[in-house]
């Protein structure tokens, strides 16, 4: 290919050599074609690099995951009814022991009942009956009110559970045998005590539900090991109180003399 030298018709006073060099520059052949090469991958950040994202462990991931929406239906309403009925029952029994209201024995009368004058050998120790009377009354009254409110439910449930377990054991000891229905054994059946103990245990293990003062805490809807621990505490306290302050085997008790 032959190119003619570039000639400018207008003479602007420039040197002819400069104009020729400019023309040759415009007609230079193009640069050679270069095959594009793949770009090198970016270097992965080292593990000890401060800005490198660190993988989260499974527990952290689960803890930060959003809480799934669980449709509870009428579950919370059922727990509310159960709490109120059980709480009112224990509250009234506790007030009978503390104040003597509602034809109750009062603290002195209940202390005498614990001493069991007809047969002191199967009653509670004399030096502990007054304290046990007050503890039982406070546990049932305070625990019942807290259950109604749904406040500190695992603790309240453990308190009333301990009280009703001791009451049922003492009832069987005084009767000299085990009966289920209330009318059996001269009215010494354990029907009511068993139902109340089971209801208290159920409230500890299921939680009070959304309609409660505990609704912001996990144990109100999804109780776990903490609630199970309070259930064990409730049973353990009842066993300890019975062994330390009475010690009678309720399955081998002679019972009170019948008239």
Q: Between residues 92 and 36, which one has the greater pLDDT? A: 92
| pLDDT attached to residue 73 | 84
| pLDDT attached to residue 222 | 84
Q: Is 217 exposed, middle or buried (0-12, 13-18, 19+ CB in 10 A)?
A: middle
Quick one: tokens of 67? 């809480």
Q: Are 146 and 160 in contact (CB under 8 A)?
A: no
The phi and psi torsions of 140 (rounded to 5 degrees) equal -70, -40
Kindly report the pTM of this predicted structure: 0.73
Question: What are 11-26's pLDDT values in tens digits?
Answer: 555 555 555 555 555 5
Question: What are 150-176's pLDDT values in tens digits?
Answer: 999 999 999 999 999 999 999 999 999
Which is nearest to 250 in space by CA: 161, 164, 176? 176
Quick one: tokens of 50? 């401060």
The phi and psi torsions of 47 (rounded to 5 degrees) equal -65, -35
DSSP helix/strand/coil, 38: coil
Question: What are 107-144's pLDDT values in tens digits?
Answer: 999 999 999 999 999 999 999 999 999 999 999 999 99
3-state helix, strand, coil in the chain (%, to 5): 60, 0, 40
């Amino acid at each position: 290919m032959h190119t003619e030298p570039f000639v400018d018709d207008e003479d602007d006073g420039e040197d002819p050599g400069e104009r020729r060099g400019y023309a040759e520059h415009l007609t230079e052949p193009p640069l050679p074609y270069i095959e594009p090469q793949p770009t090198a991958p970016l270097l992965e950040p080292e593990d000890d690099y401060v800005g490198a994202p660190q993988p989260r462990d499974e527990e952290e991931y689960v803890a930060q995951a959003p809480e799934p929406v669980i449709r509870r239906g009428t579950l919370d309403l059922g727990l509310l009814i159960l709490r109120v009925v059980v709480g009112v029952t224990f509250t009234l029994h506790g007030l009978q022991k503390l104040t003597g209201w509602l034809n109750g024995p009062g603290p002195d009368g209940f202390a005498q009942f614990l001493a069991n004058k007809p047969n002191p050998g199967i009653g509670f120790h004399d030096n502990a009956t007054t304290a046990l009377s007050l503890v039982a009354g406070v546990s049932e009254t305070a625990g019942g009110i807290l259950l109604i409110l749904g406040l500190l439910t695992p603790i309240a449930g453990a308190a009333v559970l301990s009280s009703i377990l001791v009451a049922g054991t003492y009832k069987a000891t005084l009767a000299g045998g085990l009966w289920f229905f209330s009318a059996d054994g001269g009215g010494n059946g354990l029907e009511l005590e068993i139902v109340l103990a089971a209801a208290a245990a159920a409230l500890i293990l299921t939680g009070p539900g959304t309609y409660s003062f505990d609704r912001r805490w996990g144990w109100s809807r999804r109780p776990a090991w903490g609630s199970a621990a309070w259930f064990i505490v409730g049973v353990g306290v009842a066993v300890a109180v019975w062994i330390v302050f009475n010690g009678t085997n309720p399955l081998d008790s002679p019972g009170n003399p019948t008239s």
